[in-house]
Amino acid sequence: MSQQSLIPNIKACVFDAYGTLFDVHSAVAKHIEFLGDAANQVSNIWRTKQLEYTWLRSLMKKHVDFWQITRDGLDYALDASNITDEKLRDDLLKAYLHLKCYPEVPDTLAKLKDRGLQIAILSNGSPAMLEAVVKSSGLEKLVQTILSVEEVAVFKPDPAVYQLAVDHLGVAAKEIVFLSSNSWDAVGATAFGLKVAWINRFDQRPERMPFQPVAEIKTLAELPDLLES
């Protein structure tokens, strides 16, 4: 990573959940022996459709919760892969409630909490989904606040979602650093006014948008050193 300026005056660290704290492909990875060569295709289509359906429903103003979105995305992925195994479908959905967190997550959150920073999740996920995955990863004592889009019934990157962090944490947008591995989410949060660090885990190209994050890092382990003490 190239040298980056420290991010000053931060009082809260707010994290996207899926793809940022939790590996969205770990659900399929648990059942790779059954899916075989179709595993990567199923996982990638599932994730793509999951995101597409959030954007479509937000634009059409036809909201459903993220659990329904997740089911619909999986059904599309399985159909596209000519898989009709209902038990496998059920097992994959259950696995999505127990996604693995990335290895650096617990230690990073602990360091941030020890510095007195507020730790929150701001996610498209429904409250039940988020509570389940936080608990299964053993992060309950590190994550102080879980914020779901269900409170505003629209998905990211609608500005109403990012406003939830300001309202619930009681700090100004400029005092929040928002972390996401999803480039479109990083752009959306930047456009809203949050200070954003993009977790570019997979060496993606930056979006061609005028709303660029203040930092780009490879893993969350780099975050504590970016924040001005």
| Residue 209 DSSP one-character state | S
How many Cβ atoms are within 10 Å of 133's Cβ, its own excluded?
23
Dist. CA 53–CA 39, nearest whole Å: 21
Beta bridge partners of 121: 15, 146
Q: Which are the contacts of 184, defined by CB distance < 8 A and separation ≥ 6? A: 157, 207
Per-residue pLDDT band for 185 (boundaries 50, 70, 90) equals very high
CB 111 within 8 A of CB 137: no
pLDDT in the model for residue 2: 43
**H or E element at residue 12:** strand 12-15
Per-residue pLDDT band for 3 (boundaries 50, 70, 90) equals low
- Whose CA is closest to 173, among 152, 158, 195, 188? 195
User: Domains in the chain, ordered, with CATH?
Assistant: 12-23+99-226 (3.40.50.1000), 26-96 (1.10.150.240)
Instruction: Please say if the pLDDT value at position 82 is more than 50.
Output: yes
- The pTM of this model reads 0.95
Q: Which residues are catalytic?
A: 16
